[in-house]
Amino acid sequence: MIKTKLCDLIGIEYPIFQGGMAWTATGELAAAVSEAGGLGIIGAGQAPADWLRQEIHKIKKVTDKPYGVNVMLMSPFVEDVMQVIVEERVPVITTGAGNPGKYVPMLKEVGTKIIPVVASVALARRLEKAGVDALIAEGMESGGHIGEISTLPLVPQVVDAVSIPVIAAGGIYDGRGMVAALALGAEGVQMGTRFMCAEECTISSKVKEMILKAKDRDTVVTGRSTGHPVRCLGNKLTREFEQLEKEGTDPEVLEKMGAGKLRLAMVEGDTQNGSVMSGQIAGAVQKIEPAASIIQDVMLGAEQELARLSQRFGR
C-alpha cells in the first residue's frame, strides 16, 4: 500500500485530497471522501459562516476521520469563517486567493493543519516562512481559478524550493497521475474534476452529464484580462465572455458579469449561462460512481502502474 509523509501528517489512509470546490464540495461529498480514507474538503467559497458550520456538522454525523475546509481568503465572510474553523477545531484547512499568514497562530493553537494552494515558487517560499504545514502546487490544468504554470514544471520546482510536504494538483485523474506526482517529489495528490462525478456530489446532474460528454479540448480559459483567469467547460457564457474580452471591455464589467455564475451552474443546473468550472482532465471522466470507488481505483491503479514500471525497467 502506498503511504507517504502526508498520510502521517494528516492522519489519513490514502494520500488523496478532494478539491475544496465552491458550490460543489459540500459536507456530503467531503464526508464520503474522508470516510473512504482520503481527505474530504468542504469548499467554503463565499458562503457565510453559518452555512459552513452546517456542512461541518454533516461530516461529523458521518465520520470521525480527518476532514478539511477550503477557505477563499477574498471572501467577505473570511473572518467569521475562520472563527467557525477554530470553534469546530477543523483538522485541516486549505486556502486560496491570498496569504493565510495572519491566521496561522490562531489555527495552530487548536491544532489545525494549514495547507495553502500555490501556483508559483515565490508564493510557496513565502508561505513556508509563514509557518504553514504543507502546500498544494496546483497547475493551470485545474478547473476554476488558475495560475500560468502547468503541473509538470510547477510541482518539482516547488518541491525543490521548500522543505515541507507538497501535494500535486491539476490534471490528475487516476493511478498513473498519482505515480507521476510521486515521481515529481509530491507526497500526494488533489483531485477535483473526477470527484464532481462522485455519487455523493450534490451538484446538478446536468453538470455531471456535461463533464461525462466532455472531450480533451473542451475547456477554455476566460478572464485573463481581469487578472483572474478561470478554466471552465466552453458554453454560451464563455463565448460571450471571450467576445467581450476581445472588444476590450472594462475588467470591472467582466467581473460583474461573472458574479453568481458558478452557483447558477452547479446548484441551479444552467450549463449554458452558468460557469461550469472544470479541469482539462474532464475528457477522461467516464462515469458517475461512489467516492470510495474513485479512491480505490486511484490507489489500485497506482500500485499496478508501479508494478508495471518495475517489471519493465527492473533489474
Q: What is the pLDDT of residues 21-72, one digit of tens each?
A: 999 999 999 999 999 999 999 999 889 999 999 999 999 999 999 999 999 9
pLDDT of residue 274: 95
pLDDT in tens, 65-106: 999 999 999 889 999 999 999 999 999 999 988 889 899 999
Residue 1 has pLDDT above 90, yes or no: no
Question: Which phi and psi angles does 302 have, rounded to 5°?
Answer: -65, -45
Write the CA distances from 29 to 23, 63, 132, integer angstroms. Answer: 11, 12, 25
Residue 11 has pLDDT above 90, yes or no: yes
CA-angle at 56, arms to 51 and 62, nearest 5°: 135
User: What is the average pLDDT score of the chain?
Assistant: 95
pLDDT in tens, 121-146: 999 999 999 999 999 999 999 999 99
3-state secondary structure of 85: helix
pLDDT of residue 19: 96
Contact status, residue 16 vs residue 35, Cβ threshold 8 Å: no
Locate the domains of the chain by residue range.
5-202+293-313, 215-267
Averaged pLDDT for residues 245-263:
89
What radius of gyration, in Å, describes the C-alpha atoms of the chain? 18
pLDDT of residue 98: 82
User: pLDDT-derived band of residue 203, with 50, 70 and 90 as boundaries?
Assistant: very high
Determine the topology of domain 5-202+293-313 in CATH.
TIM Barrel (3.20.20)
Residue 315 has pLDDT above 80, yes or no: no
pLDDT of residue 33: 98
Residue 314 has pLDDT above 90, yes or no: no
- Give dist(CA 50, CA 23) in Å, integer: 15
pLDDT in tens, 258-273: 888 999 999 999 999 9
Residue 152: name the closest of 120, 195, 184 by CA: 184
